[in-house]
Amino acid sequence: MRIGLTYTGSDKKHDNYARWIQAGDASIEVVRIEAGGDGGGELDALVLSGGVDIAPEFYSGDNAYAHSPNVWERARDLFELGALERALERRIPVFGVCRGLQLINVALGGSLVQDLGEDGDAVHEGTAAADKQHAVRVERGSLLASIVGALGAGAASSGDLGTLGLVNSAHHQAIARLAEELRVNCRAEDGTIEGVEWAEPEGRSFLLAVQWHPERMYVNEVGDIPLYRNIRDRFISEIAKRGY
């Protein structure tokens, strides 16, 4: 099983993703793919990692905004947009993390909140030393709900709003206009979109993306276990269905 993992810009962070994906399974090969590389060859699945802001030109955004990096990595953006397009054409499973979620939304025609502001920072933006933690409410009837099952952030299910779980958080951007082909599968309590999947999954390959970092939850053992363990296990099982 060969899983392409886009390079997040840090070897340490890349290794966290690889450890989470493999979970000790020597039969799983994690292939680093990045702009300027060979693309990884024939892959069985794609993981879009976190990292620097996507260049605003790809979603008709403004170049000047709070916490802008000022210099964007357009080569990475183009490479990952192309990798996603090929993955969707080949109908291989795709999983997106943080920036990866945002890139999927942009690729399919959505836009981004360029900066969540001070209130958003108080909930979502971590520090160099640690991520923030906050609750997410998983939507009933979603693919994500079927994957993570019952959660336990301290609040019971309520009506049709779903169930609460605890995630880590380290982002200052988020989805603004949702791409038409996607549906929201969970939100933070302030309304920020925290996960997406196909709105109409029939006939499509597996696609799931989350705004948090399950690979860091795995390493640091924080949050609700299903929100990183079950997601990984389902992703791997979807790849296995293809008879790699």
Own/partner contacts of 179-185, CB < 8 Å, gap of 24 or more, are 179/104, 179/105, 179/106, 179/107, 179/108, 179/109, 179/110, 180/108, 180/109, 181/108, 181/109, 182/104, 182/105, 182/108, 182/110, 183/142, 184/139, 185/138, 185/139, 185/142, 185/143, 185/144, 185/145
Question: What is the per-residue pLDDT for 242?
Answer: 83
10-residue block means of pLDDT along the chain (244 residues)?
Answer: 97 96 96 89 96 97 92 96 97 98 98 92 82 92 92 51 86 97 96 97 96 92 90 97 79
175-216 confidence digits (pLDDT tens): 999 999 999 999 999 999 999 999 999 999 999 999 999 999
Structure tokens at 196: 């997406």
Question: What is the per-residue pLDDT for 152?
Answer: 61
Q: Which of 14, 34, 80, 98 is catalytic?
A: 98
- Domains along the chain with CATH numbers: 2-240 (3.40.50.880)
Which H or E element spans position 47? strand 45-48
Measured CA distances, 76 to 37, 50, 81, 156, 179 (Å): 11, 12, 8, 41, 21
Question: What is the per-residue pLDDT for 244?
Answer: 65
Report the alpha-carbon distance of residue 196 to residue 186 in Å, rounded: 7
Residue 200 annotated to the active site: no
Residue 98 annotated to the active site: yes
Question: What is the per-residue pLDDT for 161?
Answer: 57
Question: What is the per-residue pLDDT for 243?
Answer: 78
Residue 186 annotated to the active site: no
Q: What is the Cβ-side half-sphere exposure of residue 115, based on CA atoms within 13 angstroms?
A: 10
Report the alpha-carbon distance of residue 45 to residue 244 in Å, rounded: 10
Question: What is the per-residue pLDDT for 168?
Answer: 93
Q: Model-level pTM?
A: 0.94
Q: Which of 34, 80, 139, 215 is catalytic?
A: 215
